[in-house]
Amino acid sequence: MSAYVTTIHPIEGQEGKKVHKAKYRQVKTAIIDELSRTKEVCFVKLIEMCRISLSNNFDGSISWHVSAVKLDLEARKKIVCVRSGDGQHISLNAGNLSKQSLAKHLK
């Protein structure tokens, strides 16, 4: 059994990255937790929020891991990323939330 996850990329033809499973889980949890607290966040702010929550127990580049996992979550339709002239705006995909989580998310 592999100790790595091969992420998928939301753009067809682009390759995913290999990420250690434990780090993938840590970063995924941090991203989902941060997006659960906010309705929408810009990508740079998401990295900073994850850096704060992961800083004490993460070995490696937080920004690289957040980017790789964010793309994977976007490809799996767990999050939505809207790209515009002022950057990327990221939110949870409301279609993947339970009614209780959705009500909490939309407050």
Task: Give the domain ranges of the chain.
Answer: 4-105
Residue pLDDT, tens place only, 30-76: 999 999 998 899 999 999 999 999 988 899 999 999 999 999 999 99
Rounded Cα–Cα distance for residues 66 and 50 (Å): 8
Among 13, 37, 29, smallest CA distance to 73 is for 29
Domain 4-105 grouped into CATH 3.40.605.10: no
Residue 96 has a pLDDT of: 58
- Give percent above pLDDT 90 in the chain: 68
- Share the mean pLDDT of the chain: 87
pLDDT of residue 27: 96
The model's pTM is 0.84
Is residue 47 within 8 A of residue 62, CB to CB? The reply is yes
